[in-house]
């Protein structure tokens, strides 16, 4: 299966026979067999023909829209996969012990994965972050005794501050940053992970939708207007594994320069330009297609994209049994 990323303005995406065709302003055409197309991501001002939209809706092909700077606008939505019974179960389990225990498992795995990623770059950067690892371990150990999701998210937030402080000491000096910054991102690192998280959110949103769940009925993140809280829940265990590791690899591997960023264009902040977006998207796509053996309930390799779908299946099993212990978050080594 493949994704079509459109990072140019003025592209027209249509259907010719059994192929999806992206026609660029200079006359160039890109062809993809419709049966192998899993999703289309439009970054900028391009368009789909009506026939193309119909085929995407009929065949369950995800279509998502982003700004040039990576801001997520929305997606083409079909109701073909909606499963009302599952969505009712989501509502029933909100603010229950199931939600509490699920949150503990996800955040514990998230912190553990962050520690693994941090150690990788710590070794490569010849720095010692013993105190940071100790503090992250303490935050993780506190989770089991938490009696509310708010407590869990509090420790998650504390651990995240230590984690990003650690990453800031492992990154190339030219790309130094000071903690997380959002809306707008204030530096190159935050610009890249912000776009990366948007792409990751889009991936998980599609998997949730495919399985008939409601992306807006979360368990850990509190209800928020216009925010897909279940997608936010399920992406936590993947953030460091897929996005943070990819961004650190690009920067420390000298695959990107400051020339691929702009400041104060449409709004204050630091944003990737067209070339920079292309570099990040290609690297993320290669990551998503990488086979791994990190899921403890299967004995064969799957790529990250398929692993996300398997995790949604695990969530459904846990929901149906009302047993959060049946959900096994990904843990990297």
Domain end, chosen from 19, 50, 76, is at: 76
324's tokens? 């959060």
pLDDT value of residue 124: 82
Do residue 169 and residue 22 come from a single domain? Answer: no
- Say which residues have a Cβ less than 8 Å from residue 28's Cβ, sequence separation at least 6: none
Please indicate, yes or no, whether residues 69 and 107 belong to a single structural domain of this protein. no
Residue 333 resides in a domain: no
Q: Are 113 and 241 in contact (CB under 8 A)?
A: yes
Enter the pTM of the model.
0.87
Does 63 share its domain with 173? no
What CATH number has the domain bearing residue 302? Answer: 1.20.120.920
pLDDT tens for residues 122-154? 988 888 899 999 999 999 999 999 999 999 999
For the chain, the domain total comes to: 2
Residues 88 and 72 in one domain: no
| 66/120 same-domain check | no
Containing 200, the helix (H) or strand (E) segment is helix 188-210
pLDDT < 70 stretches in the chain: 1, 69-70, 80, 224-226, 264-267
Domain that holds residue 69: 2-76
Compute the distance between CA of residue 144 and CA of residue 165 in angstroms, rounded to an integer: 25
pLDDT of residue 1: 64
The CA distance from 18 to 32, in Å, is: 9
């Amino acid at each position: 299966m493949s994704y079509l990323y459109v990072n140019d303005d003025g592209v027209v995406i249509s259907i010719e026979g059994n192929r999806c065709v992206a026609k660029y302003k200079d006359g160039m055409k890109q062809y993809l067999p419709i049966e192998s197309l899993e999703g289309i991501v439009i970054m900028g001002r391009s368009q789909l023909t009506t026939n193309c939209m119909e085929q995407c809706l009929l065949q369950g092909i995800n279509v998502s829209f982003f700004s040039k700077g990576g801001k997520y606008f929305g997606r083409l939505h079909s109701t073909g996969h909606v499963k009302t019974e599952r969505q009712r179960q989501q509502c029933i389990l909100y603010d229950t012990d199931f939600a509490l225990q699920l949150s503990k498992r996800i955040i514990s795995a998230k912190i553990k994965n962050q520690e693994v990623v941090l150690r990788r770059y710590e070794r490569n950067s010849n720095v010692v972050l013993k105190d940071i690892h100790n503090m992250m371990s303490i935050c993780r150990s506190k989770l089991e005794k938490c009696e509310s999701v708010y407590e869990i998210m509090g420790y998650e937030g504390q651990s995240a501050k230590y984690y990003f402080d650690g990453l800031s000491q492992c990154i190339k000096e030219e790309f130094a940053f000071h903690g997380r910054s959002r809306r707008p991102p204030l530096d190159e690192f935050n610009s890249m992970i912000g776009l990366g998280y948007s792409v990751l959110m889009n991936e998980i949103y599609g998997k949730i939708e495919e399985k008939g769940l409601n992306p807006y009925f979360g368990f850990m993140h509190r209800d928020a207007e216009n925010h897909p809280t279940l997608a936010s829940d399920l992406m936590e265990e993947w953030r460091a594994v897929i996005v943070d590791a990819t961004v650190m690899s690009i920067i420390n591997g000298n695959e990107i320069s400051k020339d691929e960023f702009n400041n104060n264009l449409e709004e204050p902040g630091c944003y990737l330009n067209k070339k920079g977006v292309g570099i990040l998207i290609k690297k993320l796509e290669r990551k998503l297609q990488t086979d791994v053996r990190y899921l403890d309930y299967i004995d064969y390799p799957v790529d990250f994209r398929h692993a996300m779908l398997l995790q949604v299946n695990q969530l459904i099993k846990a929901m149906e049994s009302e047993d959060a212990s049946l959900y096994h978050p990904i843990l990297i080594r």
